[in-house]
Structure 1
Amino acid sequence: MLKPDPEFEICLATDEADILAGQRLRYDVFIDELGGDGPLVDHAARLERDEFDPYFDHLLLRDKARPGAPAVGVYRLMRDDQMPAAGRYYSEAEYDLTALKSSGRKLMELGRSCVHPDYRGGEALKRLWQGLLDYTLTHGIEVMFGVASFHGTNIDALKLPLSYLHHEHLAPPELRTRALAPHYHRMDLMPRDAIDQKAAMRQMPALIKAYLRLGGTVGEGAFVDRPFNTTDVCIIVDLDQVPARTREMFGRGLRG
């Protein structure tokens, strides 16, 4: 149990110090914990960063009860009106986004979401999502999307949750993304009637489960990201489809 009790503050990064706080947390999770790496990762300074960081808004959850109020949760957010400065969406390195981009909907890409290990399974993710959904309300976002990851690159070991996602949560054609070759892997690895849903959900990362509770869907195919030691799926959340009970759970966010 955390001592003292956390005192959460949710905010957008406003300066370099805020961005560095998020990158330090990302290093702890994506590099130290999950074994990832990347060309711009600064191992000496323990910062997980990439070329897209300057173009995203960085949503931080800080714990003001701890010395220095460290970032204990983080999200990267890029609206469709911010994308031209970056040249493309981050997800376009892994997925064909043609359907999404031609949908006429107001889009926002999510990425680099993580929570410090000491804060998982409690209030932190809910508070981070309240901030996320308030942001969508402020900016009139209609569809959120981005890659979400399973740890590891052994597709056979992930055939149960991947098959479940394909059969039960495939995005509608008008919003459906598709993993790019040569890293595309089929997700329909088991027939629908062979899937144990409870067992599939036990293998599902907490973040993907949370997206499913929001009514989230997935694109076609998984993308194996060996440098980051993950198997990625593309999550698509049509905010018009978020269940009413979930809207209430996350407070002000999403209330029309």
Structure 2
Amino acid sequence: MTPDPTMPETSPFVIRLAIEDRDLLAAQRLRYGVFVEELGGDGPLVDHEQRLERDEFDPIYDHLVLIDTRRDAGALDHVVGVYRLLPGERAAEFGRFYCDSEYDLTALRASNRRLLELGRSCVHRDYRGGPAMFLLWNGLADYVLDLGIEVLFGVASFHGTDIEALKLPLSWLHHHHLAPEALRVKALPDHAQRMDLVPADQLDRKAAMVAMPPLIKAYLRLGGFVGEDAFIDRPFNTTDVCLLMDTTAMSAKHKGFYTRKFDARA
């Protein structure tokens, strides 16, 4: 992954793949702050003493990190945004994707497309609303283009498992953004939750969008869609949907938005 030539020389931000142990540890520290401290998640390999959110997949993923050079790398404070990336070929060697624990991915594997699984995307609370997410997407777009990726996918989460509170956005996703049959993954039955909870003609788009997490809304704007059913992840205290994006089917408008470079200045 080559450096971004559009990044202003005066910018404090660096976007790259993690290249040092402390980059990965800082990414796991950031993930702990977001997924454990903010959202109440947990997991068998979470290190509460060191404040590291980690799992068995971390060693095989690429970790795209957004670094603020003004922050202390020695204190694992320098990573302010992260994306976890797993190309399909590497997942095949490992034996599975993370999403295999939540969704039946048969349709994706049968597509014979070049796949990339995304996960653990988060931004430090002090950097939300600024250029951080755009910069991460910038780096992600370069990664996708370098590897010739055709389909991106990964779980995105609603906070909490109260389905009554989530019925509007889940129903909107089901009725308006369901993946085409050829790519339609389906939540595993033991934890699956139907999303068609409100009839399409009774949905209020504005109310559904207000309750939709920003990351999911952003992918919908890029032409993304979702798999069938949600997955209830009680250890992580989330209700997950599988987001998918076919880069070859994106409209020119969507592709231009996805791949154009953003000003990195704060």
Normalization by structure 1: what TM-score? 0.94
Distance 2:182 2:49 in 1: 44
**Cα deviation, residue 20, structure 1:** 0.6
1:171 aligns with 2:179: yes
1:17 aligns with 2:22: yes
Unaligned runs of 5+ in 1: none
**Cα deviation, residue 248, structure 1:** 2.8
Look up the match of 2:56. Answer: 51
Look up the match of 2:251. Answer: 243
Q: Which whole-Å deviations, capped at 9, do the CAs of 1:117-143 have from their partners, x for residues lacking one?
A: 111112110010110111000000000
The code of the aligned residue for 1:150 comes to F
Look up the match of 1:153. Answer: 161
- Aligned partner of residue 38 in structure 1, secondary structure: coil
Is this contact kept in 2: 1:126–1:250, CA < 8 A?
A: no
Match of 2:146 among 130, 138, 142: 138
Distance 1:65 1:245 in 2: 35
Identity of aligned residues (%): 62
Unaligned runs of 5+ in 2: 1-9, 262-266
Query: What is the aligned residue count?
Result: 249
The code of the aligned residue for 1:188 comes to D
- Aligned partner of residue 153 in structure 1, secondary structure: coil
Look up the match of 1:7. Answer: 12
- Aligned partner of residue 217 in structure 2, secondary structure: helix
- Aligned partner of residue 182 in structure 1, secondary structure: helix
Look up the match of 2:38. Answer: 33
Look up the match of 2:197. Answer: 189
Is this contact kept in 2: 1:216–1:235, CA < 8 A?
A: yes
Distance 1:25 1:201 in 2: 27
Distance 1:205 1:7 in 2: 28
Normalization by structure 2: what TM-score? 0.90
Look up the match of 1:208. Answer: 216
- Aligned partner of residue 89 in structure 2, secondary structure: coil
- Aligned partner of residue 241 in structure 1, secondary structure: coil
Is this contact kept in 2: 1:152–1:229, CA < 8 A?
A: yes
Distance 1:61 1:127 in 2: 8
